[in-house]
Amino acid sequence: MNVAQLRKAIADLPDDMPVAIESEGGWSELNLYVCDANLRYTPKFPNLTPWLSEGHVDTSSPVYRDHVNTTALLFSEWGNDGEDITPRSRPDIVDGEIAPLEITAADRALGPKSVVPLVECVDEAAREEQG
């Protein structure tokens, strides 16, 4: 698969849909890397998709005569020496409304600190990010 095929495949998906990868440890958060890679073509079977491997190879060597060096977009739960392009910022809130705060008798029984308005939580998180 290449980036154009990926764009086409996900074109109609919502922007806020999470991305995950299934791995040995179950589903995981992804890191995105642009890294060195090589494609190995099979001349006897030209219709086969080329085999993609990590790293560049010495294409002047007879061992790698059917290889082409390139770069690849890598989705990985592990680290890589390539350029890390993983988005690190929290997603923006695109649209929303503040719901009215309802305090029930059960909330009152727990005391005044049991109910913290959402706006306070968001403001506190913003203050922590700013240092």
Are residues 84 and 35 in contact, defined by beta-carbon separation less than 8 angstroms?
no
Q: How many residues are recorded in the chain? A: 131
Mean pLDDT of the chain: 76
Does residue 58 surpass a pLDDT of 90? yes
Per residue in 6-33, pLDDT tens?
888 888 888 877 776 666 666 667 788 8
DSSP class of residue 50?
A: P
Both tokens of residue 89?
A: 């910022």
Handedness of CA 10, 29, 16, 71 (dihedral sign): negative
Both tokens of residue 109?
A: 């029984």
> What's the confidence (pLDDT) of residue 62?
94
Per residue in 84-110, pLDDT tens?
888 776 655 555 666 666 777 776 666
Closest CA to 90 of 126, 57, 114, 65: 126
Per residue in 62-78, pLDDT tens?
999 999 999 888 888 88
Distinct helix (H) and strand (E) counts, the chain: 3, 6
Both tokens of residue 75?
A: 């989705």
